[in-house]
Structure 1
Amino acid sequence: MSSKLPKATLNLKQFLLRQEVLKLYRDIFRTLRKVPDETTRAELREWARADFRNNKDHVDETTIKSMLYYGRKSLRDLQRSLALSEN
């Protein structure tokens, strides 16, 4: 009996990691909207897109978790910088 699922179906861990990556991506772009300088904002958007694009083929769970940790840390640093510049 053959499975009706496509061969590229994600297991639960992969699915949850994918959701975390997508959430980080959305959070980064929401934060980038707050960057006051349009040129800087455009550069940061392109940097973020390129970073995600360059790392999209990773399948090792540990590697992905490590990159998520680094991405979240970078996002927090950006948010802090923006909060300080508003004051």
Structure 2
Amino acid sequence: MTTLTRLWPVSQARYSTKTKTRPALSFQQFIQRGQVISMYRKYMRLTKQIPDKPSRRELREWIRGDFDRYRTESDPRRVDVLLAQASRQYKNMESGMFPML
């Protein structure tokens, strides 16, 4: 006679009803968040043009590190400055580095 004497253990912490809540974003922060995500994606798409896989991986890690460094920035003016810098740097990378590939 075979019976299931023990089911898979279910961790209560995994299914906890307590969740971490973040403070609500203002409209400006919401828009800036979308702009940051869009810029990050543009950078990642740009790296697809690099044929050498180790170089591509290194550049992606560098990009990720840069974005992570400013992840907690909450001052809207500072975020605008960082987005402007990222945009300029992206244009430089797009026009200066990759035409020779």
Structure 1 and Structure 2 fold alike (TM over 0.5): yes
**Pairing 1:3-42 to 2, within 5 Å after superposition:** 8-42=23-57
Distance 1:25 1:9, change over 3 A: same
- 1:82 aligned onto 2:84: no
1:19 offset after TM fit, Å?
0.5
Segment drifting more, 8-17 vs 35-44 = 35-44
Q: Which residue pairs with 1:3 in the alignment?
A: none
Q: How many residues align?
A: 80
1:53 offset after TM fit, Å?
0.8
Between structure 1 and structure 2, the one with the greater Rg is: 2
- How well do the aligned residues superpose, as a CA RMSD in angstroms? 1.4
- Bigger helix fraction: 1
Q: Unaligned regions of 5+ residues in structure 1, if any?
A: 1-5
Q: Unaligned regions of 5+ residues in structure 2, if any?
A: 1-20
CA distance in 2, matches of 1:36, 1:15: 35
- 1:48 aligned onto 2:86: no
**Residues 68-87 of structure 1, C-alpha deviation per residue, up to 9 Å, x if partnerless?**
1111111111111212x13x
TM-score normalised to structure 2 length: 0.73
TM-score normalised to structure 1 length: 0.84
1:36 offset after TM fit, Å?
2.0
CA distance in 1, matches of 2:57, 2:82: 22
